Chain A
Amino acid sequence: MFWDERMETLKGKELAALQLKRLKWTVAQAAKIPFYRDLLGKASLGPGDIRALSDVEKIPFTMKKDLRGGYPFGFLAVPLEEVRRIHTTSGTTGKPTVVGYTGNDLSNWAGLIARNLTMVGLAEGDVFQNMVNYGLFTGGLGFHYGAELMGLTVVPSATGNTKRQIEMIQDFGVNAIHCTPSYAMHLSEVAAAEGARFPTLQIGCFGAEPWSEATRAELERRLGVSAFDSYGLSEMYGPGVAMECQERDGLHIWHDSYLVEIIDPATGETLGPGEKGEMVITTLVKEAMPLLRYRTGDITMLRDEDGCSCGRGQKISRILGRSDDMLVVRGINVFPSQIEHVLFSLPEVGEQFMVYLDRVHQLDEMTIEVEMNRAAFSGELRDLHRVQEKIASALRETLGIRTDVKLVEPGSLPRFEGKAKRVVDRRGVLF
């Protein structure tokens, strides 16, 4: 089943012609943004210089940290009056990245999600429980609008309260859930402890963090679902960029909306199908915030074969890792540079810190050991507690997640001679 059969199955010359037309439009749209005007000017590129799809390689990359410089509205190509929605996503330091949407952007985005949900086998009449955060995080409202567009019955359950989530899946006869794979694993543990079963549940859409084939097998066994990998990033609307079809062998990325390149992250050189590298995306339909050759930081590859037995186009592999040090904690992106920025702005914090990631009851836990600044330490226990709370709350404000802060004596954490290795990820694969 297709939501938009023509677009989903567009291939070869026809696809290339559409992409080129849209690329030209996007470059002209981006040129309304001072950052891109400068970037294109320095590269001596005008909209007229894009004559073939391969000309995209003449455009310099856009990095995550470039977006920081534009905070808050520097990357908007339309006046604020035309912006209907604002989402934010974690920046590389203190301030978040702002993503704007026009009315057309919101309907395009919902359409892409509808393609994904149709592709995994859902249709009007099905009940869909959306167990991710609503609000500024794009996962909740993104899937919500797409599911609503299709006429699904949406249970906007958001996160938390696992017992209630289980009760609703049962009482509302839910057919499909959407959440992070680790939350699904946690839910299955709680359900097993209660002896709860899910006879109506058929489909699990899992995303926002990397997960393995072993986790897929385990989730399918425990929940009795077919599990599908979903991919997206807020800079590109949010979820909905790519998803697996019924084959569950690689993700369909929507080539009419996103121009994909795979590059060598070290040299920036373009790689061919079958070669592993960093995914770089140029948006093709985004109005409010077009992005040219955006470095996603995600490592994947374009598949050799141009097509799929489902009839849709060329796939990408599941995400194989990151080219930078970004961490994904309970579905939220966290940059170690953000943590550093927060900690070093607090006078109570000393010279060193360490970040530990663990998985407890299938859920990610982040522990941060912080050396105290001797001058700020009175020696009283109560004072210690206050400082700990202050640090945890400052981290929560910026990162958007709860962390466990431990204060340690000055000089007790490891010192590094070369590049500091401050993050220890002990999570391994799920379960």
Chain B
Amino acid sequence: MYWDSKMETMDREELGRLQHRLLKTLVYRLYSFSPFYHRRMEEAKVHPDDLKTLADVTKLPFMFKRDLRDNYPDKLFTATKEELVRYHVSSGTTGKPTVVGYTENDLEEWTVSLARALTSCGLGAKDVIQVSYGYGLFTGGLGLHYGAERIGATVIPTSVGGTERQIELMQDLGATAICCTPSYLLHMGEVAEKMGVSIKKDTKMRVGILGAEPWTAEMRNRIQDWLGISAYDIYGTSELSGPLFTECTEQNGIHVWGDFAYTEVVDPKTGEEVADGEKGELVMTILKKEALPIVRFRIGDITSMTREVCACGRTHPRIMRITGRVDDMLIIRGINVFPSMIEHTLMGIPEVGQHFQIVVDRKHELDTLLVRVEVKPEAFSDKITDLMNLKAGIEKRLESALTVHADVELAEPGSLPRFEGKAKRVTDRRKL
């Protein structure tokens, strides 16, 4: 089943011509209206007229996450205040968060991308879709909500948390599909069994749209066998609009709609394009984005791509499972966390010393984040209540900055390891 069969199965050459046309329109617009990108293009000595073929895209300069941070909150926007209809916010690398603005057309493109994707996973108007991603500033919840609503499904906006209630509703309301992180679904499976409910036997659940964190083929097998569903990988980041693309029922790579995005995979060191099938850093250009232009954006995710036509008949390029990051970004319960953000927050607290450690683990299928913090000698108190208050205060500051809870453990001055070379402050004990 296709949502838009003409577009999804478009002849590759025709798709290439369409991409070239969209790219030129985008770059002309940015050259005229985005002071930031105009300057970048001048520095790179490239003019919109230089885009003679689609391959000339490589002449364009890259954009990085830090560009968004440096232009907080809306200096990169190319839409007027009246044209903006939504803001989403994700955690940044330090201090301020990353802000993404949307025009009405941006929301429409995002919704259509997901309507195609959900249809390619075999979902339709008869399905009851439970959206268990967080609603609000995080793009997962509202993104999938709009996509599921567009295909005419019945949407249950459960958002995150209240796991027992989620399982009860899944069963009582006859949910046929769920959207959440793969680890949360595994956690649900465990809790369900404790409640005496088998998701495989006692519910109508048949499809999982799982993402916002990396997962493996082994995890897919486990989820499918144990829970009796087909599990599909979904990909997107808030800078690109949010979750956008999924695998189809072939489960062989994520379809990236070519009329929506131009995809490249590059060597993270040189920025040179790597061959199809080879691993590198994912770089994307969102061709019709209006409010926050994204051109050759270095996402930081490692993957490979293929341009072969999929067995499902869709002609658009596919990217393979994300296998890692080029930077030190961590994903905790679907939320992106940069160690630099933790450092920035800790160093703003007067009682905190120079040294800290980050330990990531997984308990009952859910990620845990522990931050060990050395207390300055002068702030170190014998009174337990003082230390408890300090711990609670640091936890609150971290949660506010990271939007995910971190347990804080206070350590005596001088007790944490010192590093001579590059500090290795992060220990990730999760086994994927």
Contacts and interface: CB of A to CB of B under 8 A. Distances in A.
Given A85-B154, A85-B155, A98 B85 contact: no
A125 B136 contact: no
B167 to A, nearest CB: 10
A71 interface: yes
A156 B104 CA distance: 15
Contact of B81 (A153, A171, A397): A153
Interface residues of A, number: 44
Interface string A294-331: 00000000000000000000000000000000000000
B400 A164 contact: yes
Contacts of A134: 135-136, 141-142, 157, 159
A83 interface: yes
Given A125-B81, A158-B135, A98 B157 contact: no
B199 to A, nearest CB: 18
B400 A136 contact: no
Interface string A58-95: 00000000000001110000001101111110000001
A294 B157 CA distance: 25
A400 interface: yes
Nearest to A397: B164
B72, B88, B141 — most chain A CB neighbours (10 Å) = B141
B7 interface: no
A135 B157 contact: yes
Given A161-B400, A172-B73, A86 B155 contact: yes
A86 B400 contact: no
Given A153-B86, A153-B87, A397-B164, A84 B155 contact: yes
B403 interface: yes
Contacts of B267: none
Nearest to A103: B152
A152 interface: yes
Counting contact residues on chain B (CB < 8 A from A), the size range is 35 or more
B173 A86 contact: yes
Contact of B172 (A71, A148, A398): A71
A140 B136 contact: yes
A172 B87 contact: yes
B8 interface: no
B273 to A, nearest CB: 37
B136 A83 contact: no
Contact of A157 (B125, B136, B141, B157): B136
Contacts of B72: 171
Interface string B361-401: 00000000000000000000000000000000000000110
Given A148-B86, A156-B88, A157-B136, A135 B141 contact: yes
Contacts of A135: 135, 141, 157-159
A397 B169 CA distance: 12
B149 interface: yes
Interface in A100-144: 124-125, 127, 133-136, 140-141, 144
A163 interface: yes
A125 B82 contact: yes
A158 B136 contact: yes
A364 B159 CA distance: 23
Contact of B137 (A83, A96, A156, A163): A156
Contacts of A73: 173
A168 interface: yes
Contacts of B158: 135-136
A73 B172 CA distance: 9
A202 B153 CA distance: 38
B72, B152, B155, B174 — most chain A CB neighbours (10 Å) = B155
A351 B14 CA distance: 75
B128 interface: yes
B135 A154 contact: no
Contact of A156 (B73, B136, B154, B174): B136
Nearest to B145: A141
Contacts of A96: 165
A75 to B, nearest CB: 13
B154 A86 contact: yes
B87 A154 contact: yes
B110 to A, nearest CB: 13
B81 A157 contact: no
A248 interface: no
Contacts of A396: 162
A161 B397 CA distance: 10
Contacts of B172: 71-72, 95
Interface string B230-253: 000000000000000000000000
A408 interface: no
A140 B157 CA distance: 11
A144 B135 CA distance: 11
B126 interface: yes
B85 A400 contact: no
A47 interface: no
A72 B204 CA distance: 15
Interface in A1-59: none
Interface in B71-89: 72-74, 81-82, 84-89
Contacts of B104: 151
Given A153-B86, A156-B88, A136 B159 contact: yes
A209 B102 CA distance: 32
A393 B399 CA distance: 21
A279 B141 CA distance: 35
Interface in B99-114: 99, 101, 104
B74 to A, nearest CB: 8
Contacts of A173: 81
Contacts of B87: 153-156, 168, 172
Interface in A323-367: none
Nearest to B139: A156
B156 interface: yes
28 contacts: A81-B125, A83-B154, A84-B153, A85-B149, A85-B154, A86-B154, A86-B155, A86-B156, A86-B157, A87-B157, A88-B169, A95-B172, A96-B165, A124-B82, A134-B141, A134-B157, A153-B81, A153-B85, A155-B137, A157-B136, A157-B137, A158-B136, A158-B137, A161-B400, A161-B403, A163-B400, A172-B74, A172-B87
Given A134-B135, A151-B104, 14 more contacts: A73-B173, A80-B174, A85-B149, A85-B154, A86-B154, A86-B173, A134-B141, A153-B87, A156-B88, A156-B136, A156-B137, A164-B400, A168-B87, A172-B73
Interface of A: 71-73, 80-81, 83-88, 95-96, 98, 124-125, 127, 133-136, 140-141, 144, 148, 151-158, 161, 163-164, 168, 171-173, 396-398, 400
